Structure 1
Amino acid sequence: MHTIPELLAPAGDLETALAAFESGADAVYGGLSRFNARERTHNFSEADFARLMAYARIHGKKVYLTLNTLVMDRELADVTDFLSLMSGLRPHAIIVQDFGILRLIREHFPELPIHASTQMAVHNSAGVHFLADKGISRVILERQVTLEELALIQRRSNLELEVFIHGALCCSLSGVCLFSSWMGGWSGNRGKCKQPCRRRYFTPDGNGFFFSTKDLYTLDLIPQLKKMGIASLKIEGRLRKADYVRPVVEAYRLMLDSPEGEEQTALKEARGILNRASGREWSSGFFSKKAMKSVINYNSMGSQGQWVGDVTSIRSNGFQMKTSQRIFMGDKLRVQPASGEEGPSFIVTLMRENTKPVRRSEKNTRLFIHCDKAIPEKGKVFRIGSPVKYPRINMDKIPEIRHWIHLEIRIHPGGLQAVVIDPPLPHSITLSGDVEKAKKHPVNRQDVESEFQKLSVDGIGLLDLTVILDGDYFIQNKTLRMLRQSLARRLNESLVAYQSQKRKNIPEFSRKPLEKTGSEPVTSVYCTRGEQNPGDAWVIRDLDDPAPAHERLLPLFCPETRLQDLRQSITKAIQSGTRTFRVSSLYGFELLKEFSGIHIHGGFSLPVANSMAFQELTDWGADKILLWPELDRSGFESILTHWRDKAEILTEGRLPILMTRGVIPVEGDIRDSRGAAFTVVKTDTLTWLYPEKGISIKPFAGVHQFKIFTADKSTSGTDWNLNREWK
């Protein structure tokens, strides 16, 4: 008998979270307005998140908070304030990408469990093992892991694993995509992706949506995932609303609960339920080599939702369309341009047939929809939300709890003593009251527990309550109530003071001006296979490149099935005299732990965007670290204030902006509708997308440089993000 995995649903707001719970989700994940990978959507307010936490604890559910973006030094103070608030609300876990935030939580907010985001790009058991002693309790695996690899990782892992089972897919490997950032500074690693992978691209032989993936669907795979023992199965979709989340959760709940031998009957019913949720064409994603060949839907615009018609003409107050499906008042529509770029979305509030207002249209009719958005000519119209209303839980009965605590209450002659065990308040609280030895009718433990559970009315939730009666006491109900109310006031004061003091104890990063050092910077050059040594530079080559080099680069992606071969390659390199290795993924630190007398450098795609992340990597053994290339000038300068001698900055070369295991239907040069040029390069493991222009920035004084040396040395691009704020 296998334990049924947790079913984890997305929640962009309170209504969606409650719909997910009502439909059978065991847990939901969502974020507040900042520092999460879906900043484009409507997120939780602090009050709604507090109520959601209370609802979840009352009903035995879980809530995970997303804090899964990269932050800069200038934002660390805000992140710390945010975590201080969250330490009172006590989400069941914080989902993180940034190594600095990982360090901050582990050292200063240990009461908050940490889940490693899929943005950490963990894709093999070595990466999981490496995180086991870093404060992580669960790893959300890279989405581009096959079922075969997943089974091996699960058997070899010592942490809980979570995998995605449904929803939109990114074409690129998680946490390393720079596509949106390159196209306009809108970083996907900051929750602001503009989805350039959904656009149309052009080659001399034709055009298509060469990076646009189908949606992930795994109802058929649920029996296998149950048998593997995966801890949590995750549905993607924090941009989606309750009308989408409800049927998706219902469908997967049905499959998870179906007994062995009855899966096929359940599958038929579950598919019918799932058909109510609008989305793209289904695919099993990257779960098999066969699926990787068809996950890219290059012949079709990658729009989510149900196609309901085409725009035929545009006016200043709306547009005319021909319908392919019924459209209802209150539908949420998106009009997609032919380029595949993201089109405008809106809710239908007025529509007409032959100048007559209607509340619904039929198929194959001419319909005018009033709209104040800029509608693209000949756009395709998709329904992305419905006006269906679901019964709303009365949240007025759910208290807005700001502090969750473990409380011990001791009743003694003359009053009460309260000790907050978690968080560990430094002083107990003593209250006097009319408490005396009972001659008859002594108060019992249940009466005391019942009264003090009402602390929730005062914004205090009890994770655990211990009541100790030193003897038999008589306490009137009004006295017990008075003690509870007095305790609530004192607890709130103490908890606020505790959080404030805790916040003050966290060191701030200084903002001293840059100081020049006398050390000479070293220029490191990565040479692709076949490239000659470009001079006196420190040469870096791939681990399997036979040409001589000072340093060897471990591969960005190493499938579980190739881990042992990679260990052997590292051993051979060391035996041949290599003493310096560059790590581009977390698993590399774990493999290199087996060897002594070597040096480790941190490279792309390890996201080091702040000083705390830099400190974390130095603790892991890195003695030179490439700073995250998306940083703006102030972001670089702040880290250099602390870590100039160990920092390295990419100053020249073409950096890959998308990497995927999916089979891209083109190779070589491509362009978008605006003339931006790119090159698609295929290897035996991954497909890489490079921009035509490279990065070329003026080196920082006294700082190590990193350059990429390729056959095409074009570096006509300048100052990628240095002269504008990183969005």
Structure 2
Amino acid sequence: MNQSVKPELLAPAGSLEAFFAAMENGADAVYCGLRDFSARAKAKNFTPADLERMLNYAHARERRIYVTLNTLVKERELPQLVETLATLEALRIDGVILQDLAVWRLARRHFPGLELHASTQMTVHNAAGVRQLERMGFTRGVLARELSLAEITAIRKKTHLELEHFIHGALCFSFSGQCYFSSWLGGKSGNRGRCAQPCRRRYRYHQQEGYFFSPNDLSAIDLLPELAAAGVCSFKIEGRMKSAEYVASVVGAYRQVLDAPPAQRKAALSTAKDRLKLSFGRLPTRGFLTGPNPTDIAAPSVKGSTGRFLGEISAVRGGDISFKTRDRLHVGDRLRVQPKTDQAGTAFTVKTLQLGHKAAKVASPDTLVTVPSPFANRFRKGDAVFKVSSDQAFTLSDAACRRRLEAAAPRAETITLAVSLRDDQLHLRAQWHSLVVERTFAVTTYAAENNPLSLDILREVFSRSGDAALILGELTAETLPPVVIPPKRLKEIRRAFYQELAQAISGGRSAPRREHQRAAMEALLPADAPRPEATAQLSVLVGDPRDAHLLNDPSIARLLIPLTPRLARHVALSARKLRNRKDKIIWDLPFILFEEDWQIVKQAVEILVEAGFRAFRLNNLGHFELFDGLEEPQLSSGFRLFSLNSQALLAWRELGISEAGLYLEDDRDNLGELLARDVGIPLTLTVHAQVPLITSRIRIKGARSDRSLVSDRGEKYSVDDRSGLTVLTSDTDFSLIGHLRELQNLGAERFLVELDQCGAFSERGKQVLAAAKDDRPLAGTSKFNYEMGME
């Protein structure tokens, strides 16, 4: 690498074993989750006590630990979130990675000791989004994985925030934070850390079966100098659900390349790539880094399973399986058998091997091998066998990990010390942050014949802290008399003073925690919002400005029109045609706007504002800057801006949002709790839509919107790429129509019906609007999570 300061190598730690694998193989930092609010809820994650010891261990080695609070928070979880933030601030964590603006607002107002990093779940993908993070006080942004090196470079030139980017590991087909697929199928929300990975399953399109939504794994080990030159300061490895072996292999490989001198980089790359083969990932791809249209990022013919494919089962007898292995196989290796039906696979460790009738410790490639498993009659001929870890894996038992942590010394605190000596009284004044401890000790002094008491002698004594975890920083002393204090007495004073100081510092850490936590808890909104008495207001999202005459219907209060880049190029014409309805028009901004499209939409917004339009719906942080310098815009937020709790809604209000859209995945219980709080702005709830289950920059070759994709369970989906993005929707609409009066009783007063996909004047559109007016349920629709709940 040519940079004077190497980028940070950031590793995942989903277990204590993985933490030590990262530490021992060269990670500069790790990111990990607590038991709550982690986007990898299935990982082992950590307790605060674990985290404190991990911090002691890491900081002693000048490494950093970031904690992920990157899930959406329900209203009833806000007190628990406050407690978590107070704990993390007291632990002096190196940074918090977040998605929900409730975390941002509470941290900024009540926990100023926390450094904030914006998760990739926030879908920040342009310079305007990064600049908005800067305004909000973030210190780092994790960029969307859909960016090319050229796009990252352009962002870096226009911003100053630290930029983090993934360099290795599993990819999501969808923009992170914008996938509702798992939640749609069973309430397991990816934005709550519980993704069931339906994208890894097999689907049928016409006569073709394949894994249409299962990307290969990112591997950017060839592009590290280019990423550094683009301005990325932190290279992030995905994998908090992965094994310690994976962490050891991947971190070690990237460390080797990062540290290699330019002349040795080619050889280091070759060795590192061999090491990466031990990580048992999917096929490698550079993703979008080399350009916006990668050809190798997803292949429907490639199964979405991790691990090294060994072969297909040729025979089954009880629990014994036979197959011809493509790779070397050892006793102690761990296998996973993936059934043809594409249901969950089954993993087990190889205890014995049989080559014909002979037992063996190892099987060579291209050998027919029989492996006994503990699962009788579970597997079938044709099931795929994968090796997911080897007998040579990084292994460290949980007990061994904990012994290492317990042996780590507490983190030392740096203090300043002022010393004075008058009338045989030694006065010490120590300061740690705002805490000051002063004590006076009686001493016996003697006239100095040589080596009188000096600053150097004091520093030699007080630099040794013994059992107290203290580091002497600045030391000052008034003019000292030419005397000697017996060294034994000085050491006694140091021990007594430092012991008292360490206890005061310990208390000094807990006092701010209690105060910060108390203030934050008091700031949470009470559940006493007045119920609205007004008639519910209905708005409609249409697909085309020509549908504006829908406003002739007196039951429709407002119309939302998508301000797509295509429409933006000719928006002046639409502005003239709609000028008499401008008070009832809201322009809906596309949530993905890469740099070129952002500029086009910026010009369109200026034209519309000049024409007298004021209302716009924002769907991404990068939209705020579109309105800089414009007079009195009326900004609302869409569901893609994550409003699942009252603190997030207050955050949007403070950022300039005057009407907020509630979250599409939400359920009845949380809606009731949220609507019981007065957030000071009107709230809009989407009650009918074709849910965008996936929105992606990845194109699916050959799949068109005229024919459904079908899952192995018979569910049907449609793919639309006319916007330049791939959008997957269910053939079943989401609808809460039939529950509008119930929702009014909960406190909802503004409802949105989305008809942009089917058309407002189509037979379907007319049917939906008629049902909405009568609050009559629509047959063949889904209530999404409303009744079944969102995990």
Q: TM-score, normalised by structure 2?
A: 0.84
User: What SS does the corresponding residue of 1:642 show, helix, strand or coil?
Assistant: coil
Q: How far is 1:161 from its partner? A: 0.7
Which piece of structure 1 moves more, 551-560 or 318-327?
Answer: 318-327
Q: How far is 1:524 from its partner? A: 1.6
Larger Rg: 2
For residues 582-621 of structure 1, what are the structure 2 equivalents within 5 Å?
Answer: 582-621=617-656
Amino acid at match of 1:483: F
Q: CA 1:148 to 1:446, structure 2 compared with 1: closer, same or farther past 3 Å? A: same
**Aligned residue in 2 for 1:380:** 384
Q: How far is 1:488 from its partner? A: 2.9
Q: Is the 8 A contact 2:348 2:373 kept in 1?
A: no
Aligned pair 1:484/2:512, yes or no?
Answer: no
For 1:42, which of 41, 44, 53 is the aligned residue? 44
CA distance in 1, matches of 2:729, 2:546: 18
**Aligned residue in 2 for 1:695:** 734
CA displacement 1:316-338 (0-9 Å, x = unmatched): 75655553333333333322223
CA displacement 1:74-123 (0-9 Å, x = unmatched): 11111111121111221211111111101111111111111111001000
CA distance in 1, matches of 2:181, 2:563: 26
Q: CA 1:353 to 1:601, structure 2 compared with 1: closer, same or farther past 3 Å? A: same
Amino acid at match of 2:691: L
Amino acid at match of 1:708: E
**Aligned residue in 2 for 1:540:** 560
Which piece of structure 1 moves more, 530-539 or 650-659?
Answer: 530-539
Q: CA 1:354 to 1:41, structure 2 compared with 1: closer, same or farther past 3 Å? A: farther
For 2:693, which of 657, 668, 683 is the aligned residue? 657
Which piece of structure 1 moves more, 638-647 or 235-244?
Answer: 638-647
For residues 237-386 of structure 1, what are the structure 2 equivalents within 5 Å?
Answer: 237-260=239-262, 263-289=265-291, 291-312=293-314, 319=321, 321-349=323-351, 359-363=361-365, 364-372=367-375, 375-377=378-380, 378-386=382-390
User: What SS does the corresponding residue of 1:387 show, helix, strand or coil?
Assistant: coil
CA distance in 2, matches of 1:164, 1:260: 23
For residues 124-163 of structure 1, what are the structure 2 equivalents within 5 Å?
Answer: 124-163=126-165
CA distance in 1, matches of 2:784, 2:377: 30
CA displacement 1:277-317 (0-9 Å, x = unmatched): 22111111122446533311210111111112334566775
User: What SS does the corresponding residue of 1:275 show, helix, strand or coil?
Assistant: helix
CA displacement 1:550-598 (0-9 Å, x = unmatched): 1111111011233222211212222343211111111001212231122
Amino acid at match of 2:3: H
Q: How far is 1:144 from its partner? A: 0.4
CA distance in 2, matches of 1:316, 1:574: 73
For 1:516, which of 531, 534, 539 is the aligned residue? 531
CA displacement 1:35-71 (0-9 Å, x = unmatched): 1111112223333322221222221222111111111
For 2:408, which of 386, 399, 416 is the aligned residue? 399
User: What SS does the corresponding residue of 1:612 show, helix, strand or coil?
Assistant: helix
CA distance in 1, matches of 2:447, 2:107: 52
Q: CA 1:106 to 1:560, structure 2 compared with 1: closer, same or farther past 3 Å? A: same
Q: How far is 1:539 from its partner? A: 0.9
CA displacement 1:483-526 (0-9 Å, x = unmatched): 32333334334433432232112134345366322233321211
User: What SS does the corresponding residue of 1:455 show, helix, strand or coil?
Assistant: coil
Which piece of structure 1 moves more, 154-163 or 473-482?
Answer: 473-482
Aligned pair 1:686/2:725, yes or no?
Answer: yes
Aligned pair 1:527/2:542, yes or no?
Answer: yes
User: What SS does the corresponding residue of 1:693 show, helix, strand or coil?
Assistant: coil
For 2:669, which of 634, 642, 646 is the aligned residue? 634
Amino acid at match of 1:227: A
Q: How far is 1:430 from its partner? A: 4.2
**Aligned residue in 1 for 2:457:** 444
Which piece of structure 1 moves more, 542-551 or 78-87?
Answer: 542-551
CA distance in 2, matches of 1:348, 1:453: 50
Amino acid at match of 1:662: I
CA displacement 1:680-703 (0-9 Å, x = unmatched): 111242110111112211232142
CA displacement 1:379-398 (0-9 Å, x = unmatched): 31212222325586872574
Q: CA 1:574 to 1:348, structure 2 compared with 1: closer, same or farther past 3 Å? A: same
Q: Is the 8 A contact 1:582 1:602 kept in 2?
A: yes
CA distance in 1, matches of 2:545, 2:529: 39
| Identity across matched positions, percent | 30
Amino acid at match of 2:517: R
For residues 53-64 of structure 1, what are the structure 2 equivalents within 5 Å?
Answer: 53-64=55-66
User: What SS does the corresponding residue of 2:547 show, helix, strand or coil?
Assistant: coil
Amino acid at match of 1:552: W
**Aligned residue in 2 for 1:89:** 91
Q: TM-score, normalised by structure 1?
A: 0.91
Q: Please, which runs of 5 or more residues in structure 2 have no aligned partner?
A: 568-573, 579-583, 759-763, 769-777
Q: CA 1:46 to 1:296, structure 2 compared with 1: closer, same or farther past 3 Å? A: same
CA displacement 1:660-692 (0-9 Å, x = unmatched): 011112122111011111111112421101111
Q: Is the 8 A contact 1:244 1:277 kept in 2?
A: yes
Superposed CA RMSD:
2.9
For 1:223, which of 216, 219, 225 is the aligned residue? 225
**Aligned residue in 1 for 2:771:** none
Q: Is the 8 A contact 2:322 2:371 kept in 1?
A: yes
Which piece of structure 1 moves more, 444-453 or 108-117?
Answer: 444-453
Q: How far is 1:542 from its partner? A: 1.1
Q: Is the 8 A contact 1:335 1:343 kept in 2?
A: yes
User: What SS does the corresponding residue of 1:657 show, helix, strand or coil?
Assistant: strand
**Aligned residue in 1 for 2:515:** 501
Q: Is the 8 A contact 1:311 1:321 kept in 2?
A: yes
User: What SS does the corresponding residue of 1:679 show, helix, strand or coil?
Assistant: strand
Q: CA 1:624 to 1:349, structure 2 compared with 1: closer, same or farther past 3 Å? A: farther
For 2:750, which of 692, 701, 704 is the aligned residue? 704
Aligned pair 1:719/2:783, yes or no?
Answer: yes
Amino acid at match of 1:395: R
Q: Whose helix proportion is higher, 1 or 2? A: 2
For 1:570, which of 601, 605, 622 is the aligned residue? 605
Aligned pair count reads: 717
